[in-house]
Amino acid sequence: MAEEIKVIVFTLGTEEYGVEVDSVKTIERLVPITRVPKTFDFVKGVINLRGVVVPVIDLRGRFGLPEAAHTEHTRIIIVNVADMEVGFIVDTANDVIDLNTDLIESPPEVVGGVKAKYLRGVAKISNERLLIMLNLPEVLNKSEIIQLEEIGE
C-alpha cells in the first residue's frame, strides 16, 4: 500500500508539521485580518482572498500552544477540506517533500501538546527530522472545539 504523497511542511515553534498538497489551495503572506467578534479565541478573523472572504485560525491557538508574535516568515496556509475553506496561521511554511505513506506511523498519545486525534501520524524522514501529519477534518471539526476550549481554561 506504499504510496508517494506530496506534503507541505510548516512549523509551529520547533515542531515540523505536514499537510497533503491536495488539500492546500494556496499559501499566502500575512494580510490584514478583520477580527470577527463573538467567536473562539483562536479564530483570528477573516481575510480577503481574491474576492472571497476566508476565515483564518491560529493553528497554535487551535492546538492550545502559546500564541507567537507574527514575523515576516508567518504564512497563512489556505486549506480546503469538506468544502470548507479555512486559513491556518503558521510560523513558517517553506518546504514541499515527497513522502512514502509507509513511513507514517500512528501517533503516540501526546505530541508536542497536540492531542493525538488531530494527528494522522508521525513520519520519520531522517534521523533528526520528525514530521507530524495533521488530520485536517478533525482539526476543523467544530464540535470538538468547545471541549478543547474547556481544557484550555
Partner 1 sequence: MEMNQYLSMFIDESNDHLQSLNDNMMQLESNPEDISIVQVIFRSAHTLKGMSATMGFNDLASLTHQMENVLDLVRNNELKMNEFIFDTLFKSLDALENMVQDITQGGEGHADVTSIVEALQSIVRGDYGQAAAASVEPAAASNQNTTNGFRLDQYQYSVLEQSIQTGLTVFYLDVVIREDCVLKGVRAYMVFDALEQNGEVVKTNPSVQDIEQEKFDRSFSIYYISKIDQASLHQLISSISEIESVHILPVDNETLIHISQEDDEVNEATTQMQQAVQETAVTVDIPMTQPAAPASTPTPARTPSAGGNSSAQAASRTIRVDIDRLDVLMNLFSELLIDRVRLEQLASDLKSQDLTETVEHMARVSGDLQNIVLKLRMVPIDTVFNRFPRMIRDLAKSLDKKVDFVITGADTELDRTVIEEIGDPLVHLLRNAVDHGLESIADRVSAGKSDTGMLQLRAFHSGNHVFIEIEDDGQGINREKVLKIAIKNGVISSDEAKSMTDEQVYQLLFAAGFSTADKVSDISGRGVGLDVVKSKILSLGGNVSVDSNWGKGSKFSVQLPLTLSIISAMLVRVGDEKYALPLSSIVETVIIERKQIRHVHGTKMIDYRQSVIPIVSLAEIFDCPTADEEKESTEVVVIRKGDRLAAFMVDDFIGQSEIVLKSLGKYLTNIHGISGATILGDGQVALIIDPNALVK
Point out which residues bind partner 1 (CB under 8 A). Answer: 32, 34-39, 43, 45-48, 50-55, 57, 83-86, 140, 142
Helix (H, G, I), strand (E, B) or coil at 51: coil
- Closer residue to partner 1 in complex, CB, 84/110: 84
The least CB distance from residue 137 to partner 1, in Å, is 12
Nearest-approach distance from CB 23 to partner 1, in angstroms: 14
Cα distances from 63 to residues 58, 66, 67, 108, 139, in angstroms, run 9, 9, 10, 16, 9
Q: How far is the CB of 20 from partner 1 (least distance, A)?
A: 19
Of 87 and 107, CB closest to partner 1: 87
| Min separation Cβ 18 and partner 1, Å | 21
Q: State the cell numbers at 25.
A: 489551495
| Radius of gyration of the CA atoms of the chain, in A | 15
Taking 3-state DSSP, the helix, strand and coil percentages for the chain, each rounded to the nearest 5, stand at: 20, 50, 35
- Pick 56 or 104: Cβ nearer partner 1: 56
